Amino acid sequence: MITFFVSIALLIAGYIFYASFVEKVFGIDNNKQTPAYENPGDSDYAPLSWWKGSLIQLLNIAGLGPIFGALLGALYGPVAFIWIVIGCIFAGAVHDYFSGMLSLRHNGAQYPTLVGKYLGKPMQVGINIVSICLMILVAAAFIAGPAQLIAELSPLSFGAAIAIIFVYFFLASVLPVNRIIGKIYPILGGILIFMAVSIAGALVFSGQSIPNLTFSNLHPENLPLWPLLMVTISCGAISGFHSTQSPIIARTMKKESEGRKIFFGTMIAEGIIALIWAAAGMTFFGGTDGLGTALANGGPAGAVNDISISLLGGLGGILAILGVIILPITTGDTALRSSRMMLAELLSRFFHTKGKIALMLLTIPVVIPTIFLSLIDYTFLWRYVGWTNQLVATVMLWTACMYLLKSGKFHWICGIPAMFMTAVVCTYIFYAPEGLAMPYQPSMLIGGGLTLLVLAWYIKQIVVTRKRLAHEDKIARAS
C-alpha cells in the first residue's frame, strides 16, 4: 500500500514542481489576447472559466481510457505504477501542455496544423489522415459498448440506441462549444473524479492490501513489459488522442497562465485516476491471475462493474452504469468534433468552412464512416488504435521539441520523452500481432535501429539550429 500512496504523492509533486518548470520553459504571456476573444461569433470559440475548462478537458481526454487501460495494464503487476507515474509527469503532461499551449499560440490550430508548421508539410499530410482515422475509430469504439448496455437495460433495440447516440453526437459536434459541452461536461467530469475517489477510499478502508512495488513481470500470459505496457496504458500515462482534444479547450481559455492547470494539471488528475483503477484491479481480484480471469470472463466493463458494486454497493452500481454509458459517449462526441475541426482546417484552402451550413456539411463525412464501423465487427481495426494513438503522441512530442529548439529554448523536456516514445512505437509495430508479428528479439533490434536513425536526425537538427541561431545573433549584434 506504501507504493500506492507514494505514487500519488509523486504525481502531485510533479504538478507542483515540474509543471512550474515546464511553464517557465514555454514562457507564458497573459498580455496576449487568446483565441476565445479573437474569434467572436465562431461556435468553436467561447471564453470559459479555467475550472470548467479543466473538467471538460478531463472528460474529453479520459472517458474510460484511464479505467479500462489501467485494468489491462495492471496485469503486469505493480510495475505498472512506475509507468503511470513517470510516463504521466515527464511525457503525458508535457505532451498535453504543449499540444494545448501551441494551439493557443496559433489561434486554436488543430494538431496536424502544428505538425506541419514545425515538422514540415509532408508530415502534416500523413498525420492529418492518421488523426482523422484515429478520431473516427475512437468514436466508433465508444459507441457500440454503450449502445449494447442501453439495449440490455431498456426497451430500446441496439439499432435504436445507436441512432439516439448519433443524434446526440451530431448536435454536440455542430452546436457552439458553450451550449452542451460547456454546461454539461463539467458535471460529468466531476462524476468521473467522484467515482475514482470513492473507489480509492473504499479500497483503502476495505482491509485489503494493495500490492507494493516489485520489478517482476506478473502478467499471467508472460507477455513482455517492453513495449507492450507503454501501449496498453496510454490514457493515464501518455496518449496521442489528447493532442486532438486540447485545441477544443485552447479555444476557450481566457489567459495563458490557465494552461498549467487545464493541460498539465488535468493530465496529472488522469494519472491519479489510472493509478487508482490499476490498484483496484490488482487488489480486488487477489492478484494478476484473478484479474486476468475476470477480464477474460467479463472484459474491462465487467471488472469495473464487479469492483464498483462490491466496494460501493448500490451507489457503485449506479456509478458503473454511468461510467460505462456516459463516459465513452462524451469521449466519442468530442472525437467527432475534433475530426470535423481537422477536416475544416484541411479544406479551408479550397472551401468556405465557416457558418452553420459548413459545420453540418463537414460533420457528415466523419459521421457516416463512424456509423458504419459501429455496426460491423471492426475488432481487427480497433487493434490498430493503440499503436496509432502512441504514434500520434510521439509526433506531437517531436513537434513541441522542434518548437522549443527553433525558439532557442530547453528542448530536452520534449526531446527525451519523444525519443523514448519513438523507441516504443518503432519496436511495437514489428512485434505486436496487429503489426508484423515478428519474434521479440528481431523486433527489438529493428526498433532499436530505427530509433538510432531518429536520434541521428535529432542531433542534426540541434547542430543546424544552433548554427542558425548563432548566425542570427551575430547579425543582430552587428546591427
CATH number at residue 246: 1.20.1740.10
What is the number of structural domains in the chain? 1
Residue 356 lies in a domain: yes
Q: In whole angstroms, what is the distance from residue 245 CA to residue 392 CA? A: 12
Residue 208 lies in a domain: yes
3-state secondary structure the chain: CHHHHHHHHHHHHHHHHHHHHHHHHHCCCCCCCCHHHHCCCCCCCCCCCHHHHHHHHHHHHCCCHHHHHHHHHHHHCCHHHHHHHHHHHHHHHHHHHHHHHHHHHCCCCCHHHHHHHHHCHHHHHHHHHHHHHHHHHHHHHHHHHHHHHHHHHCCCCHHHHHHHHHHHHHHHHHCCCCCCHHHHHHHHHHHHHHHHHHHHHHHHCCCCCCCCCCCCCCCCCCCCCCCHHHHHCCCCCCCCHHHHHHHHHHCCCCCHHHHHHHHHHHHHHHHHHHHHHHHHHHHHCCCHHHHHHHHHHHHHHHHHHHHHHHHHHHHHHHHHHHHHHHHHHHHHHHHHHHHHHHHHHHHCCCCCCCCHHHHHHHHHHHHHHHHHHHCCCCHHHHCCHHHHHHHHHHHHHHHHHHHHHHCCCCCHHHHHHHHHHHHHHHHHHHHCCCCCCCCHHHHHHHHHHHHHHHHHHHHHHHHHHHHHHHHHHHHHHHC
Residue 438 lies in a domain: no
Residue 459 lies in a domain: no
Instruction: Output the pLDDT for position 378.
Output: 47
Residue 477 lies in a domain: no
pLDDT in tens, the chain (479 residues): 789 999 999 999 999 999 999 999 999 999 999 999 988 767 678 898 999 889 888 887 876 778 888 999 999 999 999 999 999 999 999 999 999 999 999 999 888 889 999 999 888 888 888 887 777 777 777 776 677 667 766 788 878 888 888 787 777 766 665 666 667 777 777 777 888 888 888 888 887 788 888 888 889 888 999 999 999 999 899 999 899 889 989 999 999 999 999 999 999 999 999 999 999 999 989 888 999 998 888 777 778 878 888 888 877 777 766 766 777 777 777 777 777 777 776 666 666 556 556 556 666 666 677 777 766 654 555 567 788 889 999 999 999 999 999 999 999 999 999 999 999 999 999 998 878 889 999 999 999 999 999 999 999 999 999 988 887 878 877 76
Residue 449 lies in a domain: no
**Which grid coordinates are listed for 202?**
473504499
Residue 73 lies in a domain: yes
Instruction: Output the pLDDT for position 417.
Output: 98
Domain that holds residue 49: 2-395
Peptide bond into 227 cis (omega under 30): yes
Residue 403 lies in a domain: no
Q: In whole angstroms, what is the distance from residue 475 CA to residue 477 CA? A: 5
